[in-house]
Amino acid sequence: MSEDEGRPAPEHVPLEKITDHIWKIPQYKKDMNVSGIVFANQSLLEKMQADRTLWQCANVAQLPGIYKHAITLPDGHEGYGFPIGGVAATDYNEGVISPGGVGYDINCGVRLLSSDITEQDIRPHLPVLVETIFRNVPSGLGSRRKDLTISNSDLDRLAVDGVNFLVERGLGWKEDAEHCEEQGCMMNANPDVVSNTAKSRGLTQIGTLGSGNHFLEIQKVDKIFNLKTAKTFGITHEGQIMVMIHCGSRGYGHQVCSDYLRIMEHAVQKHKINIPDRELACAPGSSLEARNYYQAMACAVNYAFVNRQAIMHWVRQSFQQVLKRDPEKLGLQLVYDVAHNIAKIENHKIDNETKKVWVHRKGATRAFPPGHQDIPTDYRNEGQPVLIPGSMGTSSWVLVGSQKAMDLTFGSTAHGAGRIMSRSAAKRKYWGGEIRTSLEKRGITVKAASPMVLAEEADGAYKNVDTVVDVSDQVGIATKVARLVPLSVVKG
């Protein structure tokens, strides 16, 4: 079910079965420039058919300049314009760029830390550690940072410099940036094309978790599937403690999206672009509107990288305060940081030619193969780490990118479990107190800004992340490395 309840029932979208995990949406509408392709098993597909996911995929296939096919990944569900779990690549010169293909929470993403700590080491300290993290990392709707002073000029600087803005100020380690997508700094960011409203919303929110499905978890390694790759990523044994941070660009990115959706709606008329849904508002990649959006989006991308960097710094401090050991001695190394909502300029092989394209990944994780130059040098022989968080209280996953992803999905795979129930519906069905009790009975410590968010984010509101990962692994667009399970959950 979509967040926007009361929308029309989904129309029938024809499907052709390619394999048990790959389905084709034929060009059944005259304006479809390419077909759609859906990666799902039967149960996941049925969930997609219950909302407008497949209809939206068919709409994306009508974008000017789109290549190969519109893609829906195993976690796909209805979103704004694009399905969440959607990927599309359009020609750099003849195609378009659409904010709906990125989403409101620009560079919502995941950051994973490894450690030298075991479950046995940390279990007695978990209640105090979770309280300390909750105190040090502001969370919840409208949350604001506590001890990081950012001026207006600082805000513009961090939007350009990304992670290194904080590292240079002592909030992190020099090597942190090396293990971030884009090395923690997307190029072409230009604060001059970001509205004052967006800046004012973002000024006080650096280092905050926010609300919704954002979380911070202390996890343990439950099972290793690929020991060689796992060890390269710093995952060495079952029972090892990990920390996962899931959040994005807060009000800054949300406002950038809102501002440019309005601009793009005018651009559609100005450039006489035919689109099937106003939520797919876009502009030619060569236009001023597209260039300004891309530069503003890059600012929000960098804001999100900085946000997760600040949170990670305070997590390291929290471990130090509770365990009385330096973070370096605890081995709290950054494994990787991946973006889930982003548009990129990339080169991909299409019909045996290398094409420069705009790749939209909305609720999708980049999954580049071994040898790719954009992967950190110490991981390059294995491939890019892919981080797929689960729903609250369930497993999360580390996978690795593959050549199959480059061939099938423009180097992309799923980003999470994917919702099947709106937040309002979840609140009607679940009670936060019962969710907390259920988690604590399983040995999972929980700290949340309110019981309501626990109801909204109940596991039953999401697809089974293990099933989503199984499809990715079976198709080969990212393959299993390690399964993680939570010991503690901090929710906004």
Mean per-residue pLDDT, 164-182: 96
Flag whether pLDDT at 6 surpasses 60: no
Per-residue pLDDT reduced to its tens digit, 272-296: 999 999 999 999 999 999 999 999 9
Question: In the predicted model, is pLDDT for residue 219 greater than 90?
Answer: yes
The gap between the terminal CA atoms of the chain, to the nearest Å, is 23
**Is position 33 within any domain?**
yes
Least-confidence region, from 7-21, 70-84, 96-110: 7-21
Instruction: Examine the residue annotation and report whether 415 is marked as an active-site residue of this protein.
Output: yes
193-204, pLDDT tens digit by residue?
999 999 999 999
> Looking at the domain assignment, is residue 427 inside a domain?
yes
Q: How many structural domains comprise the chain?
A: 1
The single residue of 179, 254, 360, 415 carrying the catalytic annotation is: 415
DSSP β-ladder status, 16-17 and 22-25: antiparallel
Whether 2 is covered by a domain: the verdict is: no
Q: What is the pLDDT of residue 274?
A: 96
Residue-wise pLDDT tens digits, 317-347:
999 999 999 999 999 999 999 999 999 999 9
Helix (H, G, I), strand (E, B) or coil at 223: strand
CATH number of the domain that 37 lies in? 3.90.1860.10
Neighbours of 489 (CB within 10 A): 23
Q: What percent of the chain has pLDDT over 90?
A: 84
Distance CA 239, CA 242 (A): 9
Cα angle 140-145-148, degrees, rounded to a multiple of 5: 165
The whole-chain average pLDDT of the chain stands at 94
Say if residue 203 is exposed, middle or buried (CB neighbours under 10 Å; 0-12, 13-18, 19+): middle
**Bridge-based pairing state of the strands 353-362 and 364-366:** unpaired
SS3 at position 244: strand
Q: Is 39 helix (H, G, I), strand (E, B) or coil?
A: strand
Model pLDDT for residues 141-160, shown as the tens digit of each residue: 555 555 678 999 999 999 99
The contacts of residue 341 (CB under 8 Å, 6+ apart) are 102, 103, 105, 106, 107, 108, 109, 248, 361, 362, 363
Give pLDDT tens digits for 231-248: 999 999 999 999 999 999
Q: Report the pLDDT value the prediction gives residue 447, as an integer from 0 to 100.
A: 87
Per-residue burial over 51-88, b if 16 or more Cβ lie within 10 Å, else e, is bbbbbbbbbbbbbbbbbbbbbbbbbbbbbbbbbbbbbb
**Which are the contacts of 428, defined by CB distance < 8 A and separation ≥ 6?**
none
Cα 330-336-341 angle, rounded to 5 deg:
140
Strand (E) or helix (H) holding 25:
strand 22-25
Residue 479, pLDDT > 60, answer yes
**Residue 484, pLDDT score:** 98
Using one digit for the tens of pLDDT, what is the confidence trace for 406-434? 999 999 999 999 888 888 898 899 888 89
- Would 92 be classed as within a structural domain? yes
Q: Is residue 122 part of a domain?
A: yes
What radius of gyration, in Å, describes the C-alpha atoms of the chain? 21
Q: Assess if residue 5 is contained within a domain.
A: no
> Do 272 and 123 touch, CB atoms closer than 8 A?
no
Token pair recorded at residue 412: 């992309």
pLDDT at residue 431 in the model: 87
Provide the total of helices (H) and of strands (E) in the chain, helices listed first. Answer: 15, 19
Question: What's the mean pLDDT in 118-126?
Answer: 95
d(CA 156, CA 257): 17
State the DSSP string of 237-304: STTBEEEEEEE--HHHHHHHHHHHHHHHHHHHHHTT---SSGGG--EETTSHHHHHHHHHHHHHHHHH
User: Per the domain annotation, does 9 fall within a domain?
Assistant: no
Establish if 8 belongs to a structural domain.
no
Segments forming the whole domain that contains residue 82 = 16-491
- What is the structure's pLDDT at 3? 42
DSSP string computed for 126-162: HHHHHHHHHHHS--STT---SS----HHHHHHHHHHT
What pLDDT, on the 0 to 100 scale, is given for residue 146?
56
SS (H, E, C) 339-381: ECEEEEEEEEEECCEEEEEEEEEECEEECCCCCCCCCCCCCCC
Sheet with 84-91: list strands edge to edge.
16-17, 22-25, 35-39, 69-77, 84-91, 353-362, 341-350
Tokens of 292: 């300004």
- Quote the pLDDT of residue 450: 81
> Which tens digit of pLDDT belongs to each residue from 29-59?
999 999 999 999 999 999 999 999 999 999 9
Q: Give the pLDDT of residue 420.
A: 87
**How far, in Å, CA of 266 to CA of 241, rounded?**
50
CA distances from 227 to 197, 221, 428, 453, 482 (A): 48, 12, 43, 36, 8
Tokens for 312, please give them.
């990670």
The token duo for 152 is 């207006």
Burial 390-404 (b: 16+ CB within 10 A, else e): bbbbebbbbbbbbbb
Question: What pLDDT, on the 0 to 100 scale, is given for residue 7?
Answer: 61
